[in-house]
Amino acid sequence: MPMTPTPKRVLPWLALPMQEWVRGYDRATLSSDLVAALIVTVMLIPQSLAYAALAGLPPQVGLYASIAPLLLYAVFGSSRVLAVGPVAVVSLMTATAIGDLAQAGSPAYGALAITLAFLSGGMLLLMGVLRLGFLANFLSHPVISGFITASALLIAAGQLKVILGLRVEGHNFFALVLGLLRHAADTHVLTAVLGLGTVAFLFWARRGVKPLLLRAGLGPRLADGLSRAAPVAGIAVTAALTWAGQWQAQGVRIVGTVPQGLPPFTLPAWDLALWQQLAVPALLISVVGFVESVSVGQTLAAKRRQRIVPDRELVALGAGNLGAALTGGFPVTGGFARSVVNFDAGAQTPAAGVFTAGGIMLAALLLTPALYYVPQATLSATIVVAVLSLVDLRILRSTWDYSRADFTAVVATLGVTLAVGVEAGLVAGVVLSLVLYLYKTSRPHIAEVGLVPGTEHFRNVLRHQVRVSPQLASLRVDESLYFANARVLEDRVNDLVATRPQLRHVVLQCSAINDIDASALESLEAIDHRLREAGLCLHLSEVKGPVMDRLQATGFLQHLSGRVFLSHFQAVTELTPEIAAVAA
Amino acid sequence: MPMTPTPKRVLPWLALPMQEWVRGYDRATLSSDLVAALIVTVMLIPQSLAYAALAGLPPQVGLYASIAPLLLYAVFGSSRVLAVGPVAVVSLMTATAIGDLAQAGSPAYGALAITLAFLSGGMLLLMGVLRLGFLANFLSHPVISGFITASALLIAAGQLKVILGLRVEGHNFFALVLGLLRHAADTHVLTAVLGLGTVAFLFWARRGVKPLLLRAGLGPRLADGLSRAAPVAGIAVTAALTWAGQWQAQGVRIVGTVPQGLPPFTLPAWDLALWQQLAVPALLISVVGFVESVSVGQTLAAKRRQRIVPDRELVALGAGNLGAALTGGFPVTGGFARSVVNFDAGAQTPAAGVFTAGGIMLAALLLTPALYYVPQATLSATIVVAVLSLVDLRILRSTWDYSRADFTAVVATLGVTLAVGVEAGLVAGVVLSLVLYLYKTSRPHIAEVGLVPGTEHFRNVLRHQVRVSPQLASLRVDESLYFANARVLEDRVNDLVATRPQLRHVVLQCSAINDIDASALESLEAIDHRLREAGLCLHLSEVKGPVMDRLQATGFLQHLSGRVFLSHFQAVTELTPEIAAVAA
């Protein structure tokens, strides 16, 4: 794999990243990009149709949404290999956001999808210009993980309905599963055979096709490329069978007529009341899409020692969604599967994306009549196989082992998403994880420490055999001090003073205190004041530079009843020499 | 001042604190408590009337609210000297909470005040039983300070209206002040002379009375006690003048008939819709009352090396408010002024509170006819003088100097409270301070550090002349790693890798990392994975014990591309010996 030149410096923020790769573009890069584009195009055609169906939109909309966004991302994006277009979770969120406002498949529904893409694009662009990319960081990994898993299960359950040819209504996962079980007897057998057969074939194809092709004497590169065409093969075969048997007459639902032609020029609805209604879903779609896209982009960029610029990605994804809105599409983002395929197929520059867009455009112009007999159950089968790979229930086990707070966040996100819906689940997860974080920092670990004999180290008196003096108490606070936890320290010191009549000195070891806010400073002043009133002294040790700078700007250190020591050992040896003497 | 015996251990949580002081109660303590009770009673009578008026309630309600709560606090409270009853800010919040629901002074209004006290009492009790006292910590000092100052200004502006005999309506501070200016010409001159005269007298009395009495040959203790009776003297003199001149006939509004007798037995309204309406105000009143009470209690307890138990205080304040609700009162809390007076007057045990309650009860039985001619403007004058001492605008300057985040929280709380109201101001302050805290922790200080020549210390490369190697980058993160900041570290490392082609090792100095949550662990895994893909190694140094324990429970350390070093110096000397050699 040829190494691309590494940029020597961070680009001035608004310069187009294109400049970086257009200059050195040569024949070898062109050939790599063209091969990658061909493979991605073949993979994208069925995927685009399927995700449009998942979003409740006509199939051609999936193709439209895979053209302009790819071109615009190539101009503005900072990743070399990210492929932008419809993805499963965002398609589900789109269906949820506009499902109650219009009948799926109707022109009004399409107009809503366009408006949603427009709003999402505008928000992403604005966040990029205002450099608000850090907001996405408030979606924790456990929340994202629980959300993606729950969304995948929701999508799979919804598609199973199509695969079995059932008409089940369900507002949440459990209602959907219950409905499927209750109406199982009404399964349309021919549809189910086609759909489940395709599912089985695709699961097998994941592992089975490549070795077969290799054994047949094909090169590994070609075998890999061909194995990715399994969904296309599945669609072609089931469409051919349906045509041969004219199964649509027997109730197998097919894609039907797909208009031929280039993407149309469209505009969003200029309706402020509607915008207000769609604002929250658009924001959630933007944030989820951004997080998914950036994590894919970062993973792939790092493999070649390249980098992506998150705020730049916001601009590029914003442009992509605005592009989708202007060309009859729906909300898009950088997809995991297609980007990895693009990378593995050897794409070197965003030109591969431009070529892919060209390929999809040709498909929209020429190929749509061939889609007439494709059974909807086959498209659903490709979705089910794709999304089930997103289900990751191991996160429950790993967070349980690692951190109960994270486990709680996963369970809440997963549970609320399945039981109520994608938007409620996401909001519940974010709010809960913030509340748990604040709760944790509001109850900091405060250890009373003593001298480990023969050393200058101090350790928790509850865990180690250490030397302490009844005249001196050493407290180590393992958290920055701020308003939510400052009083915990006050309470702890008050306890010490009330319960140890011999106490004369309290020393705070500040090595883990990264910040002291105004509330905590007042608490320290209150502690110092109370200690002084009771005839005791408050000392500090190992205060960090930046914290010391700020304390020195106040009167606190001048009025402190005790002193500030460089090291905790120094504090203890000077204040209670007998302890140090015994230790030495 | 005799020292009270210090409790030797933390009490079992639900044992009554009474047991602690009842056992050793003797004649000397009784005499101290009786003297303190007498002084506090004299001070409380005008204060109770005034705060009842501020809350929009008849004067006797202020007396009622000063009896049962004092008795109940004596049984359940953990502070020896806290005096519970009506206070300025809580009275204002009461008026705000129920002002829109009924006409001030009407029986329906009184029933609402009782219901509010009942709800607040129930909430406090519940928070105490569930040990949720830490929730109050989320009210930061700047927010409390801004809130108290704004409330005091609001109260003063509202009382000025009474002092000037004007009828001005205003929903916020600015409207109120504007109304006062606009209607200034309608000032009722006689009322204004009485009111402003009392204000002037009370301001003078604060400093002027005690030296006068001392010069007149009185003992310092007696002089101090008498100087606290200034409000009573002001009320007596203005009432006598009003009676002599029969000024009520000339438009001076007087207190009028105050029913004589013991507090009535009352019950709250059992109306769930009303409870829902009052729930948020009751919660805010509970939290503000609790914070005020605990901070007073802690300050006074520490002076005698005693301690108070915050969760126990919740129970005691809850009982006090329930008591107020059952005896025709309104929301109460531990007051600053009366508690300090009680302490200074030598109260030793909560028995002083019991005696004070007895004194107020006698006043309610016998003294109320004497209140007939008290001008309302005089009561308002005592409030204005009391609340203006709560105004502290220096907090603006001190937070501006110390921390812009804290300054922003003060300004927002102050501004929203003045412009919109007490509830909105408090909520805005809490939410904003949490958002600012999260924002700060989401952008941690990450320093690239280098070796200070001739030492084993590492310092920021941007601030100090240090030695670094092009093969090794040392990063020190000054914050615990959690979901909101983990990606910042990822970005920083990605930047390093992309911009330094010679780089081979990245070492994270973890001395300030108190916790690593599951998201941050995944980020570290992603960083490690990307570094490995690019041919680099990730190392850690100075990882804390508890953090190391948790990391060891995962597979992270086994798969780490680099090593974990005890000290950062060790890491650098082993990985890039040439740097250490030059340094030595």
At A365-395, the pLDDT tens digits run 998 888 899 998 998 898 888 888 888 888 8
Give the model's confidence band at A580: pLDDT under 50 very low, under 70 low, under 90 confident, else very high. low
Mean pLDDT of A476-499: 87
Give the burial string for B522-551 (b: 16+ CB within 10 Å, else e). bbbbbbbbbbbebebbbbbbbbbeebeebb
Residue among B3, B491, B493 with most chain A CBs within 10 A, to mutate: B491
pLDDT of res. B55: 93
Nearest CB to B402; choose among A7, A136, A518:
A518
Q: Roughly what angle, to the nearest 10 degrees, separates helices B483-499 and B518-533?
A: 10
Whether residues B494 and A298 touch (CB distance < 8 A) is answered with: yes
With tokens 């200080």, the residue in question is: B445
Most confident of B115-119, B458-462, B558-562: B115-119
- B-chain CB neighbours of A143 within 8 Å are 483
Question: CA of A485, closest CA in chain B: separation in Å?
Answer: 7
Cα–Cα distances (Å) from A286 to A110, A119, A143, A387, in that order, read 19, 9, 16, 20
**Whole-angstrom Cα distance, residue B569 to residue B551?**
22
Smallest Cα–Cα separation from A284: which of A127, A84, A422? A422
Closest A-chain CA to B443: A134
**Whole-angstrom Cα distance, residue B562 to residue B91?**
63
Residue among B487, B490, B529, B566 with most chain A CBs within 10 A, to mutate: B487
Whether residues B138 and A442 touch (CB distance < 8 A) is answered with: yes
Residue A57 in 3-state DSSP? coil
3-state helix, strand, coil in chain A (%, to 5): 65, 5, 30
Smallest Cα–Cα separation from A157: which of A384, A419, A424? A384
**Whole-angstrom Cα distance, residue A159 to residue A59?**
15
Helix (H) or strand (E) holding B448: strand B446-451
What's the pLDDT tens digit per position in B322-374?
A: 999 999 999 999 988 788 888 888 888 889 999 999 999 999 999 888 889 99
Question: CA of A76, closest CA in chain B: separation in Å?
Answer: 19
Does residue B5 have a pLDDT over 70?
no
Say which range, A98-102, A178-182, A510-514, has the weakest mean pLDDT.
Answer: A510-514
pLDDT of res. B1: 33
Which residues are within 8 A (CB) of B163 and not within 5 positions of it... i.e. 6 or more apart?
A: B191, B192, B195, B196, B199, B377, B380, B381, B384
Does residue A241 have a pLDDT over 90?
yes
Reading the block at residue B262, the tokens are: 């013991």
Does residue A70 have a pLDDT over 70?
yes
With tokens 């590994």, the residue in question is: A220
Give the model's confidence band at A9: pLDDT under 50 very low, under 70 low, under 90 confident, else very high. very low
Which residues are within 8 A (CB) of A170 and not within 5 positions of it... i.e. 6 or more apart?
A: A157, A176, A177, A178, A179
Question: CA of A429, closest CA in chain B: separation in Å?
Answer: 12
Query: For residues A434 and A477, is the Cβ–Cβ distance under 8 A?
Result: no
| Side-chain half-sphere exposure of A227, counting CA atoms within 13 A | 21
With tokens 């309610």, the residue in question is: B364
Give the model's confidence band at B136: pLDDT under 50 very low, under 70 low, under 90 confident, else very high. confident
Whether residues B554 and A399 touch (CB distance < 8 A) is answered with: no
pLDDT of res. B192: 93
Give the model's confidence band at B14: pLDDT under 50 very low, under 70 low, under 90 confident, else very high. low
Whether residues A138 and B483 touch (CB distance < 8 A) is answered with: yes
Reading the block at residue A448, the tokens are: 């009373």
**Whole-angstrom Cα distance, residue A523 to residue A515?**
14
Whether residues A298 and B8 touch (CB distance < 8 A) is answered with: no
pLDDT of res. A132: 85
Residue B39 in 3-state DSSP? helix
What's the pLDDT tens digit per position in A333-373?
A: 998 878 888 888 888 888 999 999 999 999 999 988 888 99
- B-chain CB neighbours of A534 within 8 Å are 302-305
pLDDT of res. B388: 86
Question: CA of A450, closest CA in chain B: separation in Å?
Answer: 16
Whether residues A478 and B544 touch (CB distance < 8 A) is answered with: yes
Residue among A304, A494, A551 with most chain B CBs within 10 A, to mutate: A494
Mean pLDDT of A546-569: 89
**Whole-angstrom Cα distance, residue B87 to residue B84?**
9
pLDDT of res. B361: 93
What's the pLDDT tens digit per position in A400-418?
A: 988 888 999 999 999 999 9
pLDDT of res. A582: 57
Mean pLDDT of A305-316: 84
Q: What's the sign of the alpha-carbon dihedral A452, A453, A457, A458? A: positive
Smallest Cα–Cα separation from A109: which of A58, A175, A66, A181? A58
Whole-number mean pLDDT of chain B? 87
What's the pLDDT tens digit per position in A270-298?
A: 999 999 999 999 999 999 999 888 878 87
Q: Which amino acid is at B268?
A: P
Say which range, A82-86, A189-193, A290-294, has the weakest mean pLDDT.
Answer: A290-294
Residue among A9, A400, A402, A432 with most chain B CBs within 10 A, to mutate: A402
Question: CA of A144, closest CA in chain B: separation in Å?
Answer: 10
Question: CA of A488, closest CA in chain B: separation in Å?
Answer: 8
Reading the block at residue B295, the tokens are: 């901070």
Whether residues B483 and A7 touch (CB distance < 8 A) is answered with: no
Which residues are within 8 A (CB) of A544 and not within 5 positions of it... i.e. 6 or more apart?
A: A510, A511, A513, A514, B478, B512
Nearest CB to A302; choose among B303, B494, B521:
B494
For the beta sheet containing B458-460, the strands, ordered from the edge strand earlier in sequence to the opposite edge, are B458-460, B446-451, B472-477, B505-509, B537-541, B564-565
Nearest CB to B499; choose among A10, A310, A403:
A10
Give percent of chain A above pLDDT 90: 36
Give the model's confidence band at B418: pLDDT under 50 very low, under 70 low, under 90 confident, else very high. very high
pLDDT of res. A15: 61
Residue among A343, A488, A495, A522 with most chain B CBs within 10 A, to mutate: A522
Question: CA of B499, closest CA in chain A: separation in Å?
Answer: 5
Closest A-chain CA to B310: A491
**Whole-angstrom Cα distance, residue A426 to residue A154?**
14
Q: Report the C-alpha dihedral over residues A99, A330, A139, A72, rounded to 10 degrees.
A: -170
Nearest CB to A517; choose among B403, B497, B530:
B403
Mean pLDDT of B124-134: 89
pLDDT of res. B118: 96
With tokens 């992509």, the residue in question is: A320
Does residue A225 have a pLDDT over 60?
yes
Residue A383 in 3-state DSSP? helix
Does residue B6 have a pLDDT over 50?
no
Give percent of chain A above pLDDT 70: 96
Give percent of chain B above pLDDT 90: 36
Phi, psi angles (nearest 5°) of residue B562: -115, -145
Nearest CB to B434; choose among A406, A438, A480:
A438
B236 alpha carbon, distance to own chain's centre: 34
Closest A-chain CA to B408: A518
**Whole-angstrom Cα distance, residue A460 to residue A453?**
13
What's the pLDDT tens digit per position in B190-210?
A: 999 999 999 999 899 888 888
Query: In B18-67, which residue ranges form alpha helices assigned H by DSSP?
Result: 18-22, 27-54, 59-64
Which residues are within 8 A (CB) of A329 and not within 5 positions of it... i.e. 6 or more apart?
A: A61, A64, A65, A68, A69, A86, A113, A114, A117, A263, A323
Q: Roughly what angle, to the nearest 10 degrees, separates helices B310-326 and B107-129?
A: 150
Query: For residues A151 and A383, is the Cβ–Cβ distance under 8 A?
Result: no
Whole-number mean pLDDT of chain A? 87
Smallest Cα–Cα separation from B389: which of B206, B140, B227? B206
- B-chain CB neighbours of A482 within 8 Å are 140, 437
pLDDT of res. A111: 94
pLDDT of res. A14: 52
Reading the block at residue B310, the tokens are: 């915050």
Nearest CB to B6; choose among A479, A498, A517:
A498
A535 alpha carbon, distance to own chain's centre: 55
Does residue B454 have a pLDDT over 80?
no
Does residue B568 have a pLDDT over 60?
yes
pLDDT of res. A526: 87
Query: For residues B352 and B40, is the Cβ–Cβ distance under 8 A?
Result: yes
Does residue B107 have a pLDDT over 70?
yes
Reading the block at residue A419, the tokens are: 């039981």
What's the pLDDT tens digit per position in B505-547?
A: 999 998 888 889 988 998 899 899 889 988 899 999 988 888 8
Whether residues A533 and B484 touch (CB distance < 8 A) is answered with: no
- B-chain CB neighbours of A546 within 8 Å are 445, 478
Query: For residues A491 and B134, is the Cβ–Cβ distance under 8 A?
Result: no
Looking at the DSSP bridge assignments, the partners of residue B474 are: B449, B507
Q: What's the sign of the alpha-carbon dihedral A497, A501, A507, A513? A: negative
What contacts 24+ positions apart, CB below 8 Å, involve A255-258? A255/A49, A255/A59, A255/A371, A255/A372, A255/A373, A255/A374, A255/A375, A255/A376, A255/A379, A256/A372, A257/A372, A258/A58, A258/A59, A258/A60, A258/A368, A258/A369, A258/A371, A258/A372
Question: CA of A581, closest CA in chain B: separation in Å?
Answer: 26
Do the bridges between strand A472-477 and strand A333-334 make them parallel or antiparallel, or are there none, so unpaired? Answer: unpaired
